[in-house]
Copies of this chain bind each other. A is one copy, B any other.
Amino acid sequence: MDTTQLLKGVLDVAVLAVVAQEDGYGYDVVRRLRAAGLEDVGDASVYGTLRRLYAGGSLTSYVVPSDEGPHRKYYGITPLGRQELGEQRQTWAAFADTMSGLLAGSTGNTVPLERRRRTGSEGTR
């Protein structure tokens, strides 16, 4: 449902990854992200992220006038951006691993009753 919160801190890597594959302009990056599976990503979020990454030195940018439509602000990844991407990917991998471990403990419904705590259930005191 609310995949929105899951994007926090991940949009950066996602955008970096997409741009690293090939330079792209905002509108295009949005499409590519959605095509990649992040279907609910908002365009404003992507534009904002691009600007932030650019401001942080992870991306460069150049404007290309379009024949059919408004100009396009292309973004390309910088060495710093590539480095960031590398680190972030690792951070993500570790994090995802941790989470998978955590979530593996409870299969949603099947719970090893053996270790059930006697749940005191003391009355309210």
Contact = CB atoms under 8 A, between A and B. Distances in A.
Interface of A: 1-6, 8-10, 13-14, 16-18, 20-25, 28, 31, 33, 36-38, 62-65, 68, 71, 74, 76, 82, 85-89, 91-92, 95-103, 105-106, 108-109, 111, 115-125
Contact of A1 (B24, B64, B91, B109): B91
B108 A82 contact: yes
B23 A119 contact: yes
A21 B111 contact: yes
B21 A123 contact: no
A28 B121 CA distance: 8
A95 B13 CA distance: 14
B9 A9 contact: no
Contacts of A96: 96, 99-100
